Amino acid sequence: MPLADFPDLTLSHSAMSVLEAAEKAGRLHMAGSVEELVALSLPDASLGLGDIDADGYYTVGYDVPGGEYVPEAKVCKVKNGVAANYIDPYMRRRDPDCMLVGDIASTDKPTYQQRFGKPFNDLRGETLEWLKTQPIAAFFFRTGLPNRPLNAVAIAPANAGFFALGLAMLQGIIPLDEIRAAGTKYHHGAVLYVAPPFRHTHFEGKQVVVHNRRFEDEVNLHELFSYNLYPGPSAKKGVYGMLLTMGERDAEPWTTAHCSTVEVVTPYENTTTIMHEGASGGGKSEMLERMHREADGTLLLGENLVNGDQRKLALARGCDLLPVTDDMALCHSDLETEYKQEGKLSLTDAEAAWFIRVNHIEHYGVDPHLENITVHPPGPLLFLNIQAKPDSTALIWEHTMDAPGKPCPNPRVVLPRTYVPGVISHPVTVDIRSFGVRCPPCTAENPTYGIMGIFHVLPPTLAWLWRLVAPRGHGNPSIVDQGGMQSEGVGSFWPFATGRKVDQANILLDQIRKTEETLFVLIPNQHIGAWKVGFAPQWIAREYLARRGAAPFRPGDLSPSRCPLLGYNKHTLMVEGQTIGTWFLDVSQQPEVGPEAYDKGAKILTDFFHQQLKQFLVDDLQPIGRKAIEACLDGATIEDYESLL
């Protein structure tokens, strides 16, 4: 479809110049559907984008100066969609240091100027000129609030069709007939440019994504330059950054939460909506999953790493789960929900598809529901880092090997939300906000911050502080490992934001102050003290909290935790007539840990909080926020936190 067929299309000069150059050379591929991008992911010879080899694979690669050809990914058609595998294992996960800001507007993020000692504008020009020499795939998408969407255009090399497919599935794609329709001008507020070979020519093989906020033709324009083909930092988290910028600049600031959301329907037909936040690997997708049961139908609560003991629960029937969001949620007071309540948060999904990590699915039968959807989907899926052969069925437990005997820790499937049974597509009101933390084992011989019980109840002030610190935690599978305890900061979405930390901190504080009727809880995963637990704590907490509803706990139900940062905990827990003992709720009571090792772990956690919170003590922080941080730095008790809000 030629550009002349879009009379009311008003793109920026830069974007239009790339499209016009490709059209003039007869190499512009305008897409208006996912099916077109599936075809472009495995192009036939007539498109002039290279050939599928005799084994059925299409190699995506680029020439770099000096005549070298660098292959980036191998793509093949499978019965249930498209499978892509990166040649370089480094490209199979998001690099946490990949994001830079290219403009001179206010930011706390590393800038291109700071890292490379020169302004981004020169590289921006080089990128646009390179794109003008390439066959181009372009399409339009729309994100943001339903009543105030952010219109965007994606411009990528046409041979990177699988990347464009992932972006179109994640964010949605606008049919070209809608753009072409007369009477409605389409001006984009965002553009995403993709230039993979610059990773090798300019960045020593590293992932780099540059946000460039511009003021062009009297319209705010957010440019995103992706210099790699892993969609995590750009097609997903890059667009996330656009949404955060949009909310930050609004007259009534709002945010996009880093969370999953699920309506939990108990066997007694009570419904509780849980919003689960956390850093990457914090259990967001797992909150939407049914419990992973043992062969005998029980739930393995944990295995003791010291003596090998196991604890299991028999739950004849779990709650029904109606998913709402998987990773990103638009949070705004304008959203109308079916049962809107004062003092509670309203949200809706920010994505058209979910970027689901499946490293925990190591064999058939771990998650039959997800396995069934991905084996027999109603439409095409995109698999990343999954071993699949042409014309086979891609299986989510067949993970690509980073090295012999070492499976990739970040296999993914892009799953359109419309494929998910029972998915809720309208805004909802949140009853419980949980925050997930990956915890290492903690023992008397090796004290760590793995001192959290199955769940802790937090006062709103303390819930806000946890969102400022947002520990990434132990053994994160989603990103390139940096070792030790790291912070994803400010709601756990700071790695994707473009502005200032204090602005996002104030937005979150306002949000929490306006939603005090919400129950705030903290849930660990992977380990509780000396017990290896995986994601069982959040499945148990979900079952227990949903059964008791969003009603507040009675006096005496909760005890102050030994570490004030952990709020309150139950002494024992009764789930469907079975008692979970205090060892899983108060780690100091575990004989393998004890009070002394617990206190050492509490100090590790407290020191980390102090280190992270000091940076927020700036002039623009709201006074109540300053009081909360100063209270933490002064060794606040749980009563001190209760009195602040």
One domain for residues 158 and 243: yes
Please report whether residue 118 resides in a domain: yes
Residue 555 burial (CB count, 10 A):
6
Q: How far apart are CA 172 and CA 143, in angstroms?
A: 8
| Tokens standing for residue 393 | 């069925």
Strand partners, 437: 524
Percent of all residues in the chain with a pLDDT value above 90, rounded to a whole number? 80
Q: Is the pLDDT of residue 477 over 70?
A: no
DSSP code string of 458-485? E-HHHHHHHHHH-B--SS-SSB----S-
Mean of the per-residue pLDDT values for the chain?
93
Mean of pLDDT values over 85-99: 95
Domain boundary residue, one of 248, 272, 297: 248
Structure-derived torsion over alpha carbons of residues 359, 363, 364, 369, reported in degrees to the nearest 10: -20
Q: Which residues contact 590 (CB under 8 A, 6 or more apart)?
A: 529, 530, 531, 583
One domain for residues 228 and 307: no
pLDDT band at 556 (very low <50, low <70, confident <90, very high): confident
- Give me the domain span that covers residue 640: 255-345+430-644
| Tokens standing for residue 383 | 């698999």
Domain boundary residue, one of 231, 248, 265: 248
Q: How far apart are CA 194 and CA 202, in angstroms?
A: 14
Q: Phi, psi at residue 253, to the nearest 5°?
A: -55, 145
Domain boundary residue, one of 213, 248, 283: 248
- CB-based burial label for 321 (10 Å; 0-12, 13-18, 19+): buried
One domain for residues 304 and 234: no
pLDDT in tens, 428-451: 999 999 999 999 999 999 999 999
Q: Is the pLDDT of residue 474 over 80?
A: no
pLDDT at residue 96, rounded to an integer: 87
Mean of pLDDT values over 95-115: 95
Q: How far apart are CA 14 and CA 192, in angstroms?
A: 12
Longest dimension (CA), the chain: 75
Residue 292's nearest CA partner among 353, 383, 358, 355 is: 358
Q: Is the pLDDT of residue 171 over 80?
A: yes
Q: Is the pLDDT of residue 199 over 80?
A: yes
Q: How far apart are CA 180 and CA 177, in angstroms?
A: 5
Mean of pLDDT values over 297-304: 95
Q: How far apart are CA 381 and CA 414, in angstroms?
A: 6
Q: How far apart are CA 243 and CA 24, in angstroms?
A: 33
Q: Is the pLDDT of residue 483 over 70?
A: no
One domain for residues 230 and 289: no
pLDDT in tens, 388-420: 999 999 999 999 999 999 999 999 999 999 999
Please report whether residue 50 resides in a domain: no
pLDDT at residue 484, rounded to an integer: 65
One domain for residues 445 and 553: yes
Tokens 């590790």 correspond to 604
Please report whether residue 406 resides in a domain: no
CATH of the domain at 552: 3.90.228.20
Percent of all residues in the chain with a pLDDT value above 70, rounded to a whole number? 97
Q: How far apart are CA 221 and CA 103, in angstroms?
A: 12
CATH of the domain at 175: 3.40.449
Q: Phi, psi at residue 169, to the nearest 5°?
A: -70, -45
Please report whether residue 563 resides in a domain: yes
Please report whether residue 42 resides in a domain: no
Please report whether residue 419 resides in a domain: no
Q: How far apart are CA 203 and CA 208, in angstroms?
A: 7
Q: How far apart are CA 192 and CA 213, in angstroms?
A: 12
One domain for residues 205 and 282: no
One domain for residues 238 and 320: no
Distances (CA, A) of 142 to 28, 174, 483, 581: 21, 7, 37, 49
Q: Is the pLDDT of residue 334 over 70?
A: yes
One domain for residues 129 and 188: yes
pLDDT in tens, 36-54: 999 999 998 888 888 899 9
Q: Which of 147-151, 158-162, 180-184, 596-600 has the lowest mean pLDDT?
A: 180-184
Question: What pTM value is reported for the model?
Answer: 0.94
Q: What is the Rg, in whole angstroms, of the alpha carbon atoms belonging to the chain?
A: 25
pLDDT band at 180 (very low <50, low <70, confident <90, very high): confident
| Tokens standing for residue 4 | 């002349």
One domain for residues 463 and 521: yes
Q: Is the pLDDT of residue 496 over 80?
A: yes
Please report whether residue 67 resides in a domain: no
| Tokens standing for residue 313 | 């629960």
Q: Is the pLDDT of residue 344 over 80?
A: yes
Domain count, the chain: 2
DSSP classification of residue 496: G
Mean of pLDDT values over 499-518: 95
Higher confidence at residue 33 or residue 556?
A: 33
Q: How far apart are CA 289 and CA 14, in angstroms?
A: 44
Q: Is the pLDDT of residue 209 over 90?
A: yes
Q: How far apart are CA 411 and CA 413, in angstroms?
A: 7
Please report whether residue 452 resides in a domain: yes
pLDDT at residue 316, rounded to an integer: 84
pLDDT at residue 507, rounded to an integer: 97
One domain for residues 462 and 591: yes
Strand partners, 433: 275, 520
Mean of pLDDT values over 345-352: 95
Distances (CA, A) of 257 to 188, 277, 396, 415, 451: 24, 8, 27, 20, 26
The letter for the amino acid at 643 is: S
Q: Is the pLDDT of residue 184 over 70?
A: no
Distances (CA, A) of 503 to 108, 122, 297, 479, 498: 10, 30, 48, 26, 11
One domain for residues 443 and 504: yes
Mean of pLDDT values over 279-294: 89
Helix (H, G, I), strand (E, B) or coil at 511: helix
Strand partners, 16: none
Are 605 and 451 in contact, with CB atoms under 8 Å apart?
Answer: yes
pLDDT at residue 482, rounded to an integer: 52
Q: How far is CA 276 from the centre of its chain?
A: 12
One domain for residues 506 and 551: yes
Q: Is the pLDDT of residue 99 over 70?
A: yes
- At CA 533, angle to CA 529 and CA 539, rounded to 5? 120
- CB-based burial label for 544 (10 Å; 0-12, 13-18, 19+): middle
Q: Is the pLDDT of residue 479 over 70?
A: no
